Amino acid sequence: MPKFDESKMRVIANHVLEDPEISEMVTRVEAEADAQILAGVVTLRWGKKQINTVKRAASYMGVPYQTYLKQVVFRQALSDIAEAEAVLGKRPKQAEAPAAPKRSRTRLPH
């Protein structure tokens, strides 16, 4: 097997374009989820085809697939909540999760 030659590597894209507001929201929601991880763990039973699709999308985004799953699920949940509240009216403040403290992590540049 030929040896891998790093000198032949090239950068195709050095970042993922993402709206800064969405990026901040995802970071905040991930922090909230991480803070609540002791409260419960979610197990998903998916077929290999679905898992491979998620892993492929995550690789394009440059994040681990677990992180990608959290991001996508929370974005969709927030979208569904906004849509439902637009139709049904906003829920009382106590139904919303408290904001988690900021955490440090490396994000791709915008």
> Running along the chain, 110 residues long, what does each successive block of 10 average in pLDDT?
61 60 80 72 86 93 89 92 88 56 49
In a domain, 83, yes or no: yes
- Measuring CA to CA, how many Å separate 15 from each of 19, 69, 109? 12, 19, 6
Residue 73: its pLDDT value, please?
92
The pTM is what?
0.47
Longest dimension (CA), the chain: 63
Residue 30: its pLDDT value, please?
80
In a domain, 104, yes or no: no
In a domain, 68, yes or no: yes
Residue 44: its pLDDT value, please?
83
Number of domains in the chain: 1
In a domain, 51, yes or no: yes
Residue 110: its pLDDT value, please?
45
In a domain, 46, yes or no: yes
Residue 103: its pLDDT value, please?
47
* Residue 66 domain boundaries: 18-32+41-95
